[in-house]
Structure 1
Amino acid sequence: MDLVTHYAAGPAEHTRLARTPHGRLEYLRTRELLRRFLPETARILDVGGGTGIHAEWLAAEGHAVHLVDLVPDHVAHAATLPGVTAETGDARNLTAPDAAFDAVLLLGPLYHLVDPADRARSLAEGRRVLRPGGLLAAAGISRYLSLLETATAGTLTAEQVAPIRTVIETGEYDGHVGFVPTHWHTSAELRDEVATAGFPDVSVYGVEGPAWPALDAAGPGRFDTLAEAALRAARIAEQDPRLIDVSAHLLAVAHRPH
């Protein structure tokens, strides 16, 4: 199934980060990390930005946001958001001119691009459209997501052992817990890919931290009670080399050299 068909047939993308406790945690932590590194006002290119989940709050906080996404329905929705412009496009071949943006977000493309050469092209395009000194924020899915999710939920079956081992060892995710086949990263791999694209100062952060599976197990009704402790845990572990990969998502932050 191609990505346009997948997103057209699946659950509404604009509710993705609100449907589960760990999705809500992902949203809060991604917003927290982006706020930490973005300048006060910036020209932001949100590549693979979906329906504008992050573009909406970024624009509301005074940033000028242009969103690019492969799915026309996503682009149509994002274009209705105040302060957001949007176009259909491919992360590997951006239409933006060189050095046009203060920040580039790649919060979705890297895991959908299963060929390493395509990920390299996407990162190279992100570097090209950044001004010198501009910020790159690139997300990956952790190779340990399905292991932690199924083990905590009690749904880890004998049949899932082999594909879970495969994704941990190779990054090749075959869809065994839903979603389309994608590439999942380790923090070291994500750091190396961004550095190889010409970003020498890469830092990688664990987004959700170690408590996200427990939030899902507790259920949506307890999120408001448990979220603050989970956020504190995520901050403590965000760059701990022994814990970073237990986050469901990873975020690489780097700057284009002057």
Structure 2
Amino acid sequence: MSEVVRNYYDENAKVELERLNNPYSSIEFNSTMHLIDKYFPKTGEVIDIGSGPGRYSLELLKKKYSVTLLELSEKELDIAKKRIEGVGLKAEKYLCENALNLNILESDKYDAILLMGPMYHILDKEQRINVLKETLRILKKQGIAIISYLNSWGILKAGVTEFSSVFKDLNNVYGYLDEQSFDENNSFTEVYFSTPVQALDEVEKAGFHIASYAGAESFLSGIEEGVIKLYKEDRVVYDNLLKVAVESCELPQYRDATEHLHIVVKKI
């Protein structure tokens, strides 16, 4: 990941902190926690690669895991440390480092790994594969990792309401049926969108065994305005939909067409 990505997250550290508080983004947060509870070992050492402001690290610490945070943005890492220490918890380490440099970490060390964020911003396929191989190296045998990609197919759905003007060019519609890369002049920063087929292939080529995969937004993907409206006007309905969406995030009829693709993998 480049300085462009680092600068974006430094400048938007507080925005990233609040993102998962949004009633729509809360679906992603709760689905991720559901996968952690379902697949992670109940105890052990975890590294959160691309930890951002520490939303997941904080929850893992509450569950008594030993947690190391690795984050490109110093400002986001500072927020994470203040939030964690503010509730009386303590992480093992705070590493301000690029995910491209996982070679600094010890082999076969972690019982579980979150790799959520870096794969969104690595435009070069060879570099992505290397990050995946390094993640495999530092994971203990039988360890579990959750690896996240941004999914073109789900972003196409979301784009109907979020950025529909770009679809005045028919080629832009077709473009989201495949992987895409954008620089900072054409997106919020340097960003890579995969498809489930391509993401699963990358992960397998790196040597992981795929245990499952999920669409973080489940059947609520692409209808952010409606979800937020329900949150404000009928919390019973919102809460019911949220519960079922989280529980069904791995179902094949939903998981291929959400904005965030979570791949659950194992080192065998």
User: Is 2:157–2:221's contact at 8 Å kept on the other side of the alignment?
Assistant: no
Of 174, 191, 203 in structure 1, the residue corresponding to residue 200 of structure 2 is 191
Q: Which residue of 2 aligns with 1:14?
A: 17
Q: TM-score, normalised by structure 1?
A: 0.88
Could you tell me which runs of 5 or more consecutive residues in structure 1 were left unpaired when the two chains were aligned. Answer: none
| 1:212 and 1:230 in contact (8 A); partners too | no
Aligned residue type for 1:90: N
* Structure 2 residue corresponding to 1:243, chosen from 244, 254, 266: 254
Aligned partner of 2:59: which letter? W
Distance, in Å, in 1 between the alignment partners of 2:28 and 2:221 is 9
The counterpart of 2:90, out of the listed 63, 83, 108, is 83
CA–CA distance in 2 between the matches of 1:205 and 1:47?
19
Aligned length: 254
Aligned partners of 1:127 and 1:198 also within 8 Å: yes
* C-alpha spacing 1:170/1:224, structure 2 compared with 1 (3 Å): same
Runs of 4+ in structure 1 over 6 Å off: none
Task: Work out whether residues 163 and 174 of structure 1, in 8 Å CA contact, stay in contact via their aligned partners in 2.
Answer: no
3-state SS, counterpart of residue 252 of structure 1: strand
Q: Higher mean Cα deviation, 60-69 or 218-227?
A: 218-227
Do residues 172 (structure 1) and 181 (structure 2) align?
A: yes
Spell out the pairing of 1:138-149 with structure 2 (5 A cutoff). 138-149=147-158
The residue type paired with residue 96 of structure 2 is: T
- Partners of 1:221 and 1:213 in 2: CA distance: 18
Give 1:36 deviation, angstroms: 0.7
Distance in 2 of aligned mates of 1:138 and 1:168 = 21
2:34 touches 2:247 (CA, 8 Å); kept in 1? no
Structure 2: distance between partners of 1:112 and 1:77: 21
Unaligned runs of 5+ residues in structure 2 are none
CA RMSD of aligned residues (A): 2.3
Could you tell me how far apart the structure 2 residues matched to 1:223 and 1:32 are? 24
Measured at CA, do residues 29 and 223 of structure 1 come closer, stay the same or move farther in structure 2, by a change above 3 Å?
Answer: farther
1:59 partner letter: L
**Identity score, percent:** 22
CA contact (8 A) 2:27 2:246 kept: no
Alpha carbons of 1:205 and 1:104: their partners in 2 closer, same or farther (altered >3 Å)?
same
TM-score w.r.t. structure 2 length?
0.85
CA positional deviation for 1:245: 1.9
State the distance in 1 between where 2:154 and 2:13 align.
Answer: 20
Task: Name the residue aligned to 1:60.
Answer: 62
Q: 1:135-167, CA deviations, whole angstroms, 9 ceiling, x for partnerless residues?
A: 1110111112332223246x5224365334323
Give the structure 2 partner of residue 136 of structure 1. 145
Considering Cα pairs closer than 8 Å and 6+ residues apart, tell me whether 1 or 2 has the greater RCO.
Answer: 2
Assess if the C-alpha contact under 8 Å between 2:132 and 2:206 holds in 1.
Answer: yes
CA contact (8 A) 1:21 1:223 kept: no
- Give, in angstroms, the shift of residue 187 of structure 1: 1.7
